[in-house]
């Protein structure tokens, strides 16, 4: 299970709280490079404990919209991206003690009336722990149209708009290659994973960062980040939640420039 870090928590205190060893908690959380530095709202995976279920990740109210903080984000930039005021964003997140300091992996509540209106409500129980992400390379066949079709089938979504947009997006992100990895941009940091690369590298056909892949993982898909169906499905859920893309994908190219063949490439 996962535990949401509270102000004043330490890994040793969390381990004691759930009657597991500190070493086991550290081993279950390779995304934490320095066990002496954890931050409020960060997710910590608790191995093998079913006790104290009330301390599991708190589920947002029904229909609440959430956003997972990415490297380089600020509260003001997140507010602007979702067409809400900074004051409204701060008011919706009283757990953020200092709005000038937020950290990758934090989950922020977005207020009603943002540009994500119309997106499906979050399903926090669908998320997987970042430690559950696996890094085996994809060895089967197929191509982007096959993988998009399969992702849409699993998510019970119509295919046409998603197909058009993701053929463009995947071509731009990875040249349609499911085992692509970005080792050169500023996000390529963190502890080395089983594939031999830093945790925060973007991976796969739609270039998901492991934290994003875990947070937006779609049930019924693999936990392997290089699996193109799982990678595309997580990316689709991400753009629905972050940018307000409709479930039928009809406004995908309007809201996500990287999926629009008539506009220049732009990261998403």
- Is 45 in the same domain as 75? no
pLDDT at 95 over 50: yes
Mean pLDDT of the chain: 81
The last residue of a domain, from among 55, 74, 91 = 55
Name the pLDDT band for 30 (thresholds 50, 70, 90).
Answer: confident
| Residue at token pair 């430690």 | 131
In a domain, 266, yes or no: no
- Is 165 in the same domain as 253? yes
- Is 6 in the same domain as 86? no
In a domain, 160, yes or no: yes
170-201 confidence digits (pLDDT tens) = 999 999 999 999 998 877 888 899 999 999 89
CATH number of the domain that residue 222 is part of: 1.10.530
- Is 222 in the same domain as 111? no
Give the pLDDT of residue 187: 76
In a domain, 51, yes or no: yes
DSSP 167-189: HHHHHHHHTT-TT-B--SSTT--
Give the pLDDT of residue 13: 87
pLDDT at 64 over 50: no
User: What is the pLDDT averaged over residues 213-234?
Assistant: 94
CATH number of the domain that residue 103 is part of: 3.10.350.10
User: What is the pLDDT averaged over residues 9-21?
Assistant: 86
pLDDT at 20 over 50: yes
- Is 83 in the same domain as 170? no
Give the pLDDT of residue 146: 94
User: What is the pLDDT averaged over residues 28-55?
Assistant: 65
In a domain, 124, yes or no: no
- Is 155 in the same domain as 190? yes
21 compared with 82, residue with greater pLDDT? 21
- Is 98 in the same domain as 186? no
Lookup: tokens for 86: 């900074």
Residue 198's SS3 state is strand
In a domain, 267, yes or no: no
Name the pLDDT band for 51 (thresholds 50, 70, 90).
Answer: very low
In a domain, 123, yes or no: no
- Is 108 in the same domain as 135? no
pLDDT at 210 over 60: yes
pLDDT at 203 over 90: yes
Q: Which residues contact 179 (CB under 8 A, 6 or more apart)?
A: 137, 138, 204, 226
- Is 83 in the same domain as 41? no
In a domain, 17, yes or no: yes
The last residue of a domain, from among 117, 138, 158 = 117
pLDDT at 115 over 90: no
- Is 90 in the same domain as 164? no
- How many domains does the structure of the chain reveal? 3
Range of the domain at 101: 65-117
- Is 104 in the same domain as 202? no
Name the pLDDT band for 49 (thresholds 50, 70, 90).
Answer: very low
Which of 31-40, 151-160, 179-188 shows the lowest per-residue confidence on average (mean pLDDT)? 31-40
Distances (CA, A) of 172 to 162, 231, 261, 262, 267: 15, 15, 10, 13, 9
Give the pLDDT of residue 125: 52
pLDDT at 121 over 50: no
Give the pLDDT of residue 185: 80
- Is 243 in the same domain as 150? yes
What is the percentage of the chain residues whose pLDDT exceeds 90? 37
96 compared with 49, residue with greater pLDDT? 96
In a domain, 89, yes or no: yes
Give the pLDDT of residue 118: 36
What whole-number distance in Å separates Cα of residue 251 and Cα of residue 164? 11
Give the pLDDT of residue 124: 44
pLDDT at 217 over 50: yes
């Amino acid at each position: 299970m996962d535990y949401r870090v509270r102000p004043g928590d330490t890994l040793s205190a969390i381990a004691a709280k759930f009657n597991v060893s500190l070493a086991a908690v550290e081993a279950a959380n390779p995304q934490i490079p320095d066990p002496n530095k954890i931050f409020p709202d960060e997710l910590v995976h608790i191995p093998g404990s079913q006790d104290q279920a009330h301390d599991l990740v708190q589920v947002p109210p029904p229909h609440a919209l959430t956003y997972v903080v990415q490297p380089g984000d600020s509260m003001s930039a997140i507010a602007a991206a979702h067409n809400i005021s900074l004051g409204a964003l701060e008011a919706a997140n009283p757990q953020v003690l200092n709005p000038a300091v937020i950290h990758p992996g934090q989950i922020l509540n977005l207020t009603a009336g943002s540009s994500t209106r119309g997106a499906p409500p979050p399903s926090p129980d669908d998320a997987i722990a970042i430690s559950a992400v696996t890094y085996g390379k994809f060895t089967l066949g197929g191509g982007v149209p096959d993988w998009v079709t399969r992702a849409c089938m699993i998510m019970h979504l119509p295919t046409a708009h998603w197909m058009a947009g993701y053929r463009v997006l995947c071509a731009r992100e990875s040249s349609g290659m499911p085992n692509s990895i970005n080792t050169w941009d500023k996000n390529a940091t963190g502890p080395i994973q089983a594939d031999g690369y830093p945790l925060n590298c973007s991976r796969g056909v739609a270039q998901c960062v492991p934290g994003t892949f875990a947070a937006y993982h779609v049930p019924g898909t693999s936990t392997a980040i290089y699996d193109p169906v799982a990678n595309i499905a997580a990316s689709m859920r991400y753009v629905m939640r972050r940018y307000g893309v409709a479930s039928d994908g009809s406004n995908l190219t309007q809201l996500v420039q990287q999926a629009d063949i008539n506009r220049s490439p732009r990261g998403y």
